[in-house]
Structure formats: C-alpha cells, structure tokens
Amino acid sequence: MSNELFEAMCQSVIDGDPDAAAALAEQSIHDGVDPLEAIDLGYVAGLTEVGARFSTGEMFLPDMMLAARAMQRAVAVLEPEMTRRAMHRQVLGRVVLGTVKGDIHEIGKNLVGIMLSANGFEVHDLGVDVPPERFVETARSVGADIVGISARLTTTMTGQRDVIRALDAAGLRPGVKVLVGGAPVTRAWSTDIGADGYAEDAIGAVALSRELVGVAGTV
Ligand code: B12
C-alpha cells in the first residue's frame, strides 16, 4: 500500500503537480505513514528523477521549478505532522541557517530547518542566496550556537568556506559551531574548510547539532 503511495508521490513531483502532491501528503497522514519516509521514498525520489532527466536534456528548468513547487506544497502539508511527532519544549540551542550566496536551492535546507525546529532547536532561517556578512550579523545578534550552511551546486560550495572565514574574522568561533551540508558537500570538504561538522541529511543534521551543543543521546 505504502509503495503505491510513494510511487504516486514520486510521480506527482515528476509531473510538477502541486495539488496532487498535497493531496497525497494528506492521504499519507491519514494512513499513518511516517512523514520522513513519505519525503525520502516519495517526493525526493521524484526530485532525483527530475534532476536526472534535467541532466540528460529530457526536462528543462521550468520542469525543475514545477517539481520544486510540488515538493514544497507536500512538505507544507507534512510539516505540522513532523513537528507533532517530535515535539520538544526545551530549547536545545539556537541555529542560524541559510543557503550560500549565488545559490537559490532551498528544499533541503528547509527540511533541515523543519527537523531542527521539531527537535527543540530555535531556528533562524535566512533563506537563500545569503552573503557571508548576513550569517555573521545574525549569528551575533541572536547569540547562535550553530551556523548551518547549505550549498547545492558544486560552483557555490566555496561559499561555505567564505562564511567560515567571515565568522573567524568576526571572532565568533570557536564559540559558534559550523555545520555544512548539501548534496555536493562531503566530509572531506567539510574538514578541508574547517567546519565543525557535516551531515548527509536532515536527521543527521539533528543528531550532529545535538552533539555540538552537548546534548547526549540519539534523536
Ligand atoms: C529543485 C531543483 C532546482 C530548483 C530549486 C527550487 C527551490 N526552491 O529550492 C530550481 C529550478 C530553482 C533550480 C535551479 C538551478 N539548478 Co537545480 N536542481 C533541483 C533538483 C531537481 C532538486 C534539488 C533538491 O531540492 N533536492 C532534494 C533535497 C531534499 O535534497 P538536498 O538539497 O540534497 O538536501 C538534503 C541534504 O543535502 C542535506 N542538506 C541540505 N542542506 C543542508 C545544510 C546543512 C547544514 C546540513 C547539515 C545538511 C543539508 O539535507 C537535505 C535533506 O535530507 C536538483 C536535482 C537533484 N537530483 O537533486 C537540481 C540540481 C541541484 N540543480 C542543478 C542546476 C545545474 C541548477 C541551475 C544552475 C540550472 C540553470 N541552468 O539555471 C539552477 C541554479 C540556480 C541557482 N543559482 O541556485 C544541478 C546541480 C549540478 C551541480 N552539482 O552543481 C542539479 C543536481 C541538477 C542536475 N542533475 O544537473 N534547481
């Protein structure tokens, strides 16, 4: 049953159909499906396929935009359920989150933000195309424990190093820890640029953030 649902979710993203994507998300909540599974096995699978078809020239930028819109509508429906399932009252730490300058990909970063909020972190989301100085200003003004930097393009990954250098120059580290992520980012890259941690996905981001603020135990 879930497999059919996941396939339909995947297809709704490939078709760039936000109404279908949202309706399937509602159905999954009704059926008691784990929203994270719905995202990973359903919608992200669709985005991966769209990306592959974009690479081979079978799909174009407007198709990617529609696919992203469908994904975002589904996530908006699933978000309250994710929060409900992982409700925490105590604030574990403050996180400033954003996608680097020159990069407008936000879906992965938003998922990380949703998961961190749902797991007790206060998240200050700066959005996309964020210059290093905004990370610095906000980290200082909110008293951030962690700065999370997302990059989705191989050409924008260096923006993560720029943010780290700016935080260093402002004297905010090592008090503020830096977490990096995004599909082209690797652990080796994160070590190279002097980040405090790298996580492959939103669940990993929560586990690592807990570690960085010194909270024991798993998510
Ligand atoms: C949707 C999409 C778009 C949308 C974005 C809309 C939006 N609102 O976000 C639009 C249409 C705008 C777009 C534009 C472009 N895109 Co695009 N896009 C995609 C697509 C299809 C999906 C990306 C996505 O959201 N994935 C799903 C999320 C959930 O995964 P994720 O981002 O990896 O995030 C997870 C982890 O990485 C991690 N994570 C993410 N951030 C962080 C941060 C921290 C701190 C941590 C710890 C973890 C973490 O956790 C997340 C959840 O598990 C990918 C293809 C693909 N296969 O992924 C191409 C893709 C990323 N795009 C690509 C390209 C080339 C472009 C354009 C340059 C195209 C063009 N010619 O204009 C532009 C760039 C615009 C810009 N300046 O940024 C290439 C990138 C190639 C590369 N390696 O550099 C890809 C791979 C497509 C391809 N196969 O060629 N794109």
Neighbours of 210 (CB within 10 A): 20
Residue 82, CA atoms < 13 Å, CB-side half-sphere: 25
pLDDT score recorded for residue 145: 97
CA distance 219 to 205: 10
Output the CA 153–ligand 1 centroid distance in Å.
7
95 touches ligand 1 (CB under 6 Å): no
Which residues does 110 contact at the CB level (< 8 Å), separation at least 6? 72, 75, 125
3-state secondary structure of 206: helix
Residue 113 CB–ligand 1 contact under 6 Å: no
Per residue in 66-104, pLDDT (tens digit) is 999 999 999 999 989 988 887 666 789 999 999 999 999
Residue whose CA lies nearest to ligand 1 atom number 49 = 181
Model confidence over 109-160: pLDDT tens digits?
A: 998 998 898 888 999 999 999 999 999 999 999 999 999 999 999 999 999 9
- Residue 47 Cα, ligand 1 centroid: separation in angstroms? 9
pTM listed for this prediction? 0.92
Ligand 1: which of 105, 124, 153, 163 to mutate, most ligand atoms within 8 Å of CB?
105
Please state, in angstroms and rounded to a whole number, the distance separating the CA atoms of residues 44 and 40.
5
